[in-house]
Amino acid sequence: MSTLFDLTGKVALLTGASKGMGLAMATALAEHGATVVISARKQDQLDEAAAGINALGKGTAHAVACNVGYKEQLLALVDKTHELAGPIDVVIGNAGVNPYYGKTSEIPDDAYQKTMNANVQSNLWLAQMVAPDMVAKGAGSMAFTSSIGAFKPSVMLGTYGMSKLALIGLVRNLAAEFGPKGIRFNAICPGLVKTEFARELWDNPEVAKRIEEEIPLRRLGDPDDFAGLAVFLASDASKYMTGQALTVCGGSNMWT
C-alpha cells in the first residue's frame, strides 16, 4: 500500500474545526493516521466533533477551545497541543470572521480591525508559535484558508476579500522565509461552500440556483470537498509545493 498520504505519527493542529470545512479536514487527517487537535470557540461543539472523529477508530482527536483573535488564547492552544500530543507537524488555520457586510469605504474601525486580526494576524501568530517545532524536525506543513474573494473586488464583501488577499501575501512571505528550514506554507481558496459561515450567501433557492448555473461543475461546494486537499497538503504527497494559493471552487474562478 502506498504511504504517499500516510499521516501516522503526525500531530495536526486545526483552528475553526468544530464544524463545516474545518471538521471535514480534521476528520480526513485523522482517517489517515494523524492525531488531531481541533479548536474553535465553543467547547461543547468541539467535544461533539472530537467524539465523532474518535468513533471512527482511526486517528485520535482532542478538543481545545480557543478564540484565535486573542494571542494568549492561541498560545494556550499551542501549549495544550504540546501537552496532549507533542510537537506539531501540521497546521491548518481555518478560523475566520466576517463581521461586516457592506462597503469597504464605510466600514467601522472595530469591524476592520476584527477582520484583519482574525483572518491575518492570528495566522501569523500561529505560524510564529508553531514554527520552532517544525524547524527542529526540518519539516512541516501549514495551510491557511483564504477565499476566492481574494481575487476580485466586491462592493459588499470587499474587506473580507482584502483580508484573504493579505493572507495569501502572508503565506508567500512565510514560504520564502521558512523554505530553507523545510517548512511549507500554502493557502486554500474555497469558492462558495455550504457551511454555516456562508449560509447567508447560499440559503435562498433562487440565489443558489443562479450561482450554481455560473459554476462549471454546477453545484456549490461541500465541506467534504476539502478533505482530500487537507490530506494532500499535510502529507508527503505535496512535499515540493509551497507558497501556493490552491483554488477549490468547481471552476467558478479560473486562471486568466
Hey, which residues are catalytic here? 160
Strand 90-93 relative to strand 61-63: parallel, antiparallel, unpaired? unpaired
Owner of C-alpha cell 493516521: 33
Maximum alpha-carbon separation in the chain:
56
Calculate the CA 171 to chain-centre distance: 12
Asked if residues 142 and 172 have their Cβ atoms less than 8 Å apart, the reply is: no
Amino acid identity, position 36 = V
Strand 35-39 relative to strand 61-63: parallel, antiparallel, unpaired? parallel
Asked if residues 112 and 159 have their Cβ atoms less than 8 Å apart, the reply is: yes
Name the DSSP class of 57: T
Query: Positive or negative CA dihedral for 215, 217, 221, 225?
Result: negative
Distances (CA, A) of 239 to 7, 104, 217: 13, 38, 29
- In degrees and rounded to multiples of 5, residue 38 shows phi and psi of -100, 140
